[in-house]
Structure 1
């Protein structure tokens, strides 16, 4: 099973960053960044309050009561502003994000429900919410620093630095609010959404790293000596902790092979790792190496981008929507992704340890799988839309120019099936000729 299809390897020892799965999983949450922002707000207030105390203590030691009285006057002037900020900020947060969630819901209904994850992973969304909440918490903490002491000689804290930082946070919040609204509105446009999906797919492809097909020392695996079953909840394989699996395999002197592909649904008891070597690693050593969740992620999933683009195109071609231009935009990006992988070895990736020995074999979709994923469902829905058929034919022709001879067969097959479907669906010969003419803009 480890030698089926094409085999690719990582050229040279390539150590994936150990925390990369954790980083990606945190990016798929909406609680971590705001929580970190609240912690930072608390630390910032502690530092600012300490500085205010030092300033007041210095003025008290120098008996600079005139300067201290001026600071107290400034602090009292800003107290009203800080109070207003603390009372209005939470209402502002609720209104802004309520409107934004409605906009995201509309976008998910028009495109695909999976567009919500773009909002969740959006850095500007997380930074904006974090700064809003940090401003609210910081202003509340500043209010605790004001004193009611009237005798200037007894004053111990004048929150001048804290008040100035509160003003700075408000200004930053307003700037981020403008950027956030702009980014949210872009989520309602097809072009930016499909572009975001494509860029994430290409970034993942660059991280995947494939080299020359075959290998001298890793092309054939030793006999399989055991399998490791999944013991957690049922779900989709989101990613694997490559660095940890490579480390465990190196210590045990074995090669591990991931049985399901990223994106496969696994059940408890399903084998997920095959062991090639003498010793089966202990189960505790393999804990948290295969991540299973409820949704696929872009971290290591080569087919997710094509899946999302195909979903958007299919919804656009449905009779209820009837938006072939959106389908053409999706085809543009599907062709772009397929063009990026047309010359890359696919089928399996060999991850190596520091000494260059293969320690983990990870299956990835083959070329034919990716072509079928990107074109099959759209082709089935396209015959009655000449704009889509013309764009698909042009895209296939472009890929045929780029594809090496062994990879032309799936493209030729889809082109033939599309022409046959057009011939069956379009009765008039002039319309058939028009729908069968390649055009990169569809109709324009």
Structure 2
């Protein structure tokens, strides 16, 4: 399932996918209308005002003009937005271009333009000056006119879409929606029912390197468990999705009472998908970093936009509130007989918080507004914690924030406001800590 989702994410990010599909559909439509369009009765062509009823020479001139105009328009549709996006990426990061390329509506508009061009070319090449009036593919030419009008309407939508895309708040909201979706897919809905966690398997194991260089995109834990059960193995997986690997290293360790064959090791290695870039299939930290990057760029001296950073902090806090409702990914995997087969590495709540807030805190160390919003959001998260581990992770973030605020050079009024927010957050977290400890006892 995760491998399929990873492949879907990669394919979805390809700008050529929908244009290719639209081009194929346009070619099929052109062939059908050219081949069977003559079945429309001549009297229908004369009576239907919306059908082209001219001669072959006029039809060639019309289609040539439409084709020339569409090709010019398509070149502008492709080139001008990329110039705009390149400039906007200085503020929002290169993720903006990736988001643009993966947008289905953008792909559909480009596909409509390219498909219409291909359609006009195919229809135009069938019209010869020697054709009689009844031999002209009236229906195909009329469809070309209609497609051109649709392209004009799509151009207006395209301009609107690109204009909204480069607005920081819209970009932040789109990434937040994707992030929440990733949280719901990556984190389980129910806690592990197998009891206490085991730190590692006993005994000496055989460390194995994946012999691949790149980012871990997907680990097929189900297949690893299945192979381990078949071969009576226990496996300690030291890597997790999102890590960058070198060819050599102790990437996973096999514990077995017998010699493990090279074929089995090769099968285990195939359970790890390593690629050139991170994906969101299993890597929650990568999705969080996409939002964090916007905030860090917004706080850079060249941009100096703390309001965008504040918006990102709010979206991250909403995401962490969703994370608090769910258990973390299972660290232990059992076979059908209830035998522990895998112990895996995973991200914990503290690491996720650090991924989201640490760089923003560092970049906003001289911005009282950002520091106060961070404190306020930590206090908000303190109201929805579910265990003491989450409380301690929030307390660690607050302690780092207090140290940062102490070094912030600002006027007395700003320092007083920051201290008030920090004290409020500290009080909320201390109350949450006491409540969780009381619940345990």
**What TM-score, normalized to structure 1?**
0.80
SS of structure 1 residue aligned to 2:420: coil
Counterpart CA distance in 2 for 1:263 and 1:147 is 59
1:423 paired to 2:424:
no
Q: Which residue of 1 aligns with 2:215?
A: 236
Q: Which residue of 2 aligns with 1:21?
A: 6
Contact 1:389 1:436 in 2 (8 A): no
Q: Which residue of 1 aligns with 2:415?
A: 432
Q: Which residue of 2 aligns with 1:210?
A: 188
Counterpart CA distance in 1 for 2:363 and 2:415 is 16
Of 23-32 and 245-254, the range deviating more from structure 2: 245-254
1:240-280, CA deviations, whole angstroms, 9 ceiling, x for partnerless residues?
Answer: 45676677667667676653222111122445555566766
1:179 paired to 2:164:
no
CA 1:361 to 1:99, structure 2 compared with 1: closer, same or farther past 3 Å?
farther
1:260 paired to 2:239:
yes
Contact 1:254 1:359 in 2 (8 A): yes
Contact 1:210 1:349 in 2 (8 A): no
Cα deviation, residue 410, structure 1: 2.0
Counterpart CA distance in 2 for 1:414 and 1:185 is 36
Cα deviation, residue 204, structure 1: 1.1
Greater helix fraction, Structure 1 or Structure 2: 2
Q: Which residue of 1 aligns with 2:437?
A: none
Q: Between Structure 1 and Structure 2, how many residues are aligned? A: 412
1:141 paired to 2:127:
no
Cα deviation, residue 108, structure 1: 0.9
Q: Which residue of 2 aligns with 1:52?
A: 37
How do 1:250-399 residues align onto structure 2 when only pairs under 5 Å count? 258-270=237-249, 272-274=251-253, 282=264, 285=267, 289-346=271-328, 348=330, 363-399=345-381
CA 1:247 to 1:73, structure 2 compared with 1: closer, same or farther past 3 Å?
farther
Gaps spanning 5+ residues in structure 1: where?
A: 1-15, 60-64, 440-444
CA 1:143 to 1:244, structure 2 compared with 1: closer, same or farther past 3 Å?
farther
SS of structure 1 residue aligned to 2:322: helix
**What TM-score, normalized to structure 2?**
0.80
Q: Which residue of 2 aligns with 1:190?
A: 168
Higher relative contact order (CA 8 A, sep 6+): 1
SS of structure 2 residue aligned to 1:292: strand
CA RMSD of aligned residues (A): 3.5
Gaps spanning 5+ residues in structure 2: where?
A: 423-441
Q: Which residue of 2 aligns with 1:165?
A: 143
